[in-house]
Structure 1
Amino acid sequence: MGKRRSYDAEFREGAVRIVLETGKSAAEVARDLGVHEGTLQTWVSRARGAVAAGTGPLEESEREELARLRSENQRLRKESVEWGMERDVLKRCMVLWVK
């Protein structure tokens, strides 16, 4: 059996970036870099999955928008709870008023 090679994260990210940004096939890039085609395809699949899942690296504008949306979401949840409490109070008032 051959010795298993290990690649650092920077090399893997660079190889994936070449495939995604240049439009070259994984096989072609793998040959150019001296990496097994299946290995590179695995890296590309993981990167695409991370982007789809939202766990990939974010740009500064995306981080700002995410922070803004999270704070807005928190504010709306608080308002929803308050409106629910107001609705419950009004229901009780209507019951008392009808009696």
Structure 2
Amino acid sequence: MATRKTYTGEFKQQAVLLAEQHGASQVSRDLGIERSLIDKWRRRLSEKGTQAFPGKGKAENEELAQLKRENMRLKEENEVLKKAVGIFTNRPR
């Protein structure tokens, strides 16, 4: 079973830039990738600009959600500790 190749956003942008300068067919041969892939990257880059190749957005969104949950938990713990400090410091002797 063949593994699927993945390319970074920077690689894709550079491939499109090279294709514009030297021709998509030449760059396709040089990089060993299909010309249709370069054409696809070119279309996506022209449509979406800097947001064309966000990477694995799902993983990024999952990480963001996990960090938000952790942040909320830490805020709740902090509030509990503040209340505990208030209880123990205002205690009459």
Query: Taking structure 2 as the reference length, what is the TM-score of the superposition?
Result: 0.46
Higher relative contact order, structure no. (Cα contacts within 8 Å, ≥ 6 residues apart): 2
Compute the TM-score of the two structures, normalised by the length of structure 1. Answer: 0.43
